Structure 1
Amino acid sequence: MPHPTSYPVDAVNRVKRRHDRGRYDHATVHVLLDSAMLCHVAYVIDGQPFCTPTFYWREGSRLYWHGSSASRMLRNLEHGEPACLTVTHLDSLVVARSPFNHSADYRSVMAFGQARLLDDSQEKEHALAMMVDRLFPGRTADLRQSSRQEIKGSSIIYMDIERASAKIRASGVVDEDEDWELPIHAEVIPVKTVLGEPVPCQRRAAGVSRHPSLQGYQPGLDLEVALRDAYARAYPDAERG
């Protein structure tokens, strides 16, 4: 039986406004997730909504995020709670001829599922190694192992994606027909996050050179490209969909 290539669509994840911009296929959702590293996780505690920014990583259709064992979010999700994880890429600022038509080009993902806490120490250690190697493929092989106290003090939450949707705007300037000839300037301002020059740690052993796992992070490179390429190197056999 063939594996599904898209997430199921229902009232929870269906894109309602400008539904033509919605995508539900695994390939689109996953590549947007793999091109970022910061997400926002939304959940409810005792009727009060919270939205927490955090670092995340993906393995197949499972998302992980990391935090302190003292975190309110992690304590709340320990036994499994509904959660929504979002990621947004800002591609450009759209400067139009009316306030109404000012906008932005973007790519975003909303993923839904039951968030749960990893309890097993070995599973936590594996997840932490995955977090590092997802960014810097092969780096964990040359690191010291995490101590028991570090493992104990770290909490890892995972969520199997049950539903997800991507929404993409790549329209540029969209003005009313009667506005195109107005003597008002309009433009698109591209937005990118670009890597800077590495700053070596001043407290380092003599003769230590930059690790090969960092070679994908070169000054001037688009961060999205670096993250996407790192994922491909870390998981060369992974199906993008």
Structure 2
Amino acid sequence: MKTERSKVKRIPKRGFYDKETVYRILDADFICQIGFVHNEHPIVIPTIYGRSGDLLYFHGASVSRMLQTLETGVPVSINVTRTNALVLARSAFHHSLNYESVTLFGTATLVSDEEERMKALHIISDQIIKDRWEEVRKPNDKELNVTKVLKLKIQEGSAKIREEGVGDDKKDYDLDIWAGIVPIERTYGAAIPDPLLKHPTELPKSVLNIENEKL
């Protein structure tokens, strides 16, 4: 939904409002920044998320200040940003970044249905590393009792993307100063086993699938 609140105002041509673009950016990451007001003070807290359809799930300790506040229905803004390159101009003023970002608006609700709650935890796990959920012990009752899961229905928001080269002032192109783009690439490194492993254990499928994969 494109609204006055979600509309990109600074360089509008970089704004996108279609689900395909928004969901592609969300699905490429697993950490978001959640902004809300608590006791009349603005707060931004990073947290892990998982997306399924039009729902964004996030979880944490039951005593979490963020989760306790959000479940009351306060307005929330969620941002995910990926920085893809440094854009180095001839002038300091025109330096920039190439990036993809999504900002969502809405209210979160507590997931109380036990089946959906377990499904949401599975979705969050897969968002971080696919198929790891199938390889590990599932949460027990004690762990579930101290965990809250919230969800946000994705209805209002926008994506903003810069994917351009250097934009210097015309007169600066004659300056003898290097300018260009420095790509930023993130990859997973080689897995480091826990020294407390009881027996030699082969790397699981989930880890093998992401080694040397670009993030």
Number of aligned residue pairs: give it: 215
Q: Residue type matched to 2:9 in 1? A: K
Q: TM-score, normalised by structure 2?
A: 0.94
**Alignment RMSD:** 1.5
Equivalents in 2 of 1:172, 1:68: separation in Å? Answer: 43
- The answer to which of 25-34 and 206-215 deviates more is 206-215
Conserved? CA contact 1:106–1:170, under 8 Å? yes
Tell me the percent identity: 35
What displacement does 1:185 show? Answer: 1.6
Q: Structure 2 matches for 1:1-241, cutoff 5 A? A: 8-219=1-212, 221-223=213-215
Q: TM-score, normalised by structure 1?
A: 0.84
Q: Structure 1 residues 37, 144: CA separation in 2 closer, same or farther (over 3 Å shift)?
A: same
Equivalents in 2 of 1:36, 1:17: separation in Å? Answer: 24
What displacement does 1:205 show? Answer: 3.5
Equivalents in 1 of 2:30, 2:138: separation in Å? Answer: 23
Conserved? CA contact 2:191–2:207, under 8 Å? no
Q: Deviations over 1:57-79 (max 9, x none)?
A: 10111111121111111111123
Equivalents in 2 of 1:218, 1:38: separation in Å? Answer: 19
Conserved? CA contact 1:80–1:117, under 8 Å? no
Equivalents in 1 of 2:162, 2:123: separation in Å? Answer: 32
Unaligned runs of 5+ in 1: 1-7, 224-241
What displacement does 1:19 show? Answer: 0.1
Q: Residue type matched to 2:111 in 1? A: L
What displacement does 1:207 show? Answer: 4.5
Q: Structure 1 residues 131, 203: CA separation in 2 closer, same or farther (over 3 Å shift)?
A: same
Conserved? CA contact 2:33–2:78, under 8 Å? yes
| Partner SS, residue 143 of structure 2 | helix
Q: Residue type matched to 1:83 in 2? A: V
Equivalents in 2 of 1:54, 1:141: separation in Å? Answer: 23
Equivalents in 2 of 1:97, 1:80: separation in Å? Answer: 48
| Partner SS, residue 21 of structure 2 | helix
Conserved? CA contact 1:15–1:167, under 8 Å? yes
| Partner SS, residue 215 of structure 1 | helix
Equivalents in 2 of 1:20, 1:194: separation in Å? Answer: 30
Q: Deviations over 1:162-190 (max 9, x none)?
A: 21101011112110111111112212111
Equivalents in 2 of 1:96, 1:138: separation in Å? Answer: 43
- The answer to which of 204-213 and 112-121 deviates more is 204-213
Equivalents in 1 of 2:4, 2:199: separation in Å? Answer: 59
Q: Residue type matched to 1:222 in 2? A: K
Q: Deviations over 1:82-141 (max 9, x none)?
A: 111101110111111112101111111001111112223332222112222334433333
Conserved? CA contact 1:92–1:105, under 8 Å? yes
Q: Residue type matched to 2:207 in 1? A: L
Q: Deviations over 1:25-77 (max 9, x none)?
A: 10110000000111100011232111101111101111111211111111111
